[in-house]
Structure 1
Amino acid sequence: MQRFGAPRRSDISYTRRPGAYAVLVRDGQMLMTFQAEPEPEFQLPGGGIDAGETPVQALHREVYEETGWTISTPRRIGTYKRFVYMPDYDLWAEKICMIYLARPIRPLGPPTEESHTAIWVPLPAAPAIMDNDGDRAFVQQVIDRL
């Protein structure tokens, strides 16, 4: 599995944290989330898979929580890992990031997750504002295929 970001540090005990994330493309634009805290960053909507959830169930839940939108036809396009500190959980994590391509269908309201804002970005401009190298690589892969 490809790794992005910093390598595993031998002095840290990491918690394995699988998650599902979406590249959401519609009409030449991409729906992203801006997370204001704990550090401001533009991200793919998505997050951790809760106990008892499948990756696709988690994807639907997380996209709704972070954007307020429903999605359809998620198709997994790849997986990568990264080793990060998650300050909101006070946790060092080995994040296993499952990336899906999906279509945003309709907004049901604003994001329900605190500190998140849904934003639309022209697809070609999306990689330049993303803060995560792994997400950026998969978005660029989608752009190159279109």
Structure 2
Amino acid sequence: MIPRFDLPPEPHRRYVFRPGAYAVLLRGRDILLTRQNGSDRALQLPGGGIDPGETPLRALHREVFEETGWRMAVDRRLGSFRRFAFMPEYGIHAEKLCHIFLGRPGLRIGPPVEPDHDAVWMDADEAVTRLDNAGDAYFLARFLRSGRGAVDHRH
């Protein structure tokens, strides 16, 4: 069963199904996050919606680059969760199916290309308490508790 986070769906509300792919990108004990600089300055795992005809991994690479300016490699899938949310940038209520992947930051190409996004490095334990999405925090905390949370990807 796929866990659900945040509020339950509202009865009689139409939700648009919106799958997405998101990354836990660790370097040592630090994690790469994205901060949206709109009215709520939300701190999130980088990633986003999977476009029609796009695979989850292709979407993940595209979204991470757009939101952080970093290239990445994927190690494995950590799991999925659902949430029901209003997406003001699209003007829709969405049933989001969020696929979470463990990856490695690669090369920083430049600043984020998506407007109003900043790449933020933060201690992973601190990030668990500061992520704005309960599902993101759950998967990061579960991975850190597994004993594999400190990842050294320097070659």
Q: Aligned pair 1:91/2:66, yes or no?
A: no
Contact 1:66 1:113 in 2 (8 A): yes
Percent identity, aligned pairs only, is 47
- In structure 2, the partner of 1:144 is 145
Gaps of 5+ in 2: 149-155
Q: Aligned pair 1:57/2:58, yes or no?
A: yes
Could you tell me how far apart the structure 2 residues matched to 1:118 and 1:9 are?
33
- In structure 2, the partner of 1:80 is 81
Could you tell me how far apart the structure 1 residues matched to 2:26 and 2:102 are?
8
1:93-132 correspondence runs (5 A): 93-132=94-133
Could you tell me how far apart the structure 1 residues matched to 2:14 and 2:32 are?
34
The secondary structure found in structure 2 opposite 1:138 is helix
Could you tell me how far apart the structure 1 residues matched to 2:51 and 2:145 are?
32
- In structure 2, the partner of 1:18 is 19
Contact 1:72 1:105 in 2 (8 A): yes
Q: Normalized against structure 2, the TM-score is what?
A: 0.92
After TM superposition, where is structure 1 displaced by more than 6 Å over at least 4 residues in a row?
Answer: none
Could you tell me how far apart the structure 2 residues matched to 1:3 and 1:68 are?
30
Contact 2:74 2:101 in 1 (8 A): no
Contact 2:26 2:104 in 1 (8 A): yes
Q: Which letter maps to 2:60?
A: L
Q: Which letter maps to 2:8?
A: P
Deviations 1:47-101 (A, max 9, x none): 0001111000000000000000000134111000000000010000000000001
Could you tell me how far apart the structure 1 residues matched to 2:75 and 2:51 are?
18
- How many residue pairs end up in the alignment? 146
Q: Which letter maps to 1:2?
A: P
The secondary structure found in structure 1 opposite 2:89 is coil
Cα pair distance change 1:12/1:38, threshold 3 Å: farther
Bigger mean CA deviation after superposition, 4-13 or 54-63: 4-13
Gaps of 5+ in 1: none
Q: Normalized against structure 1, the TM-score is what?
A: 0.97
Could you tell me how far apart the structure 1 residues matched to 2:30 and 2:115 are?
24
Q: Which letter maps to 1:60?
A: H
After superposition, the CA RMSD in angstroms is: 0.9
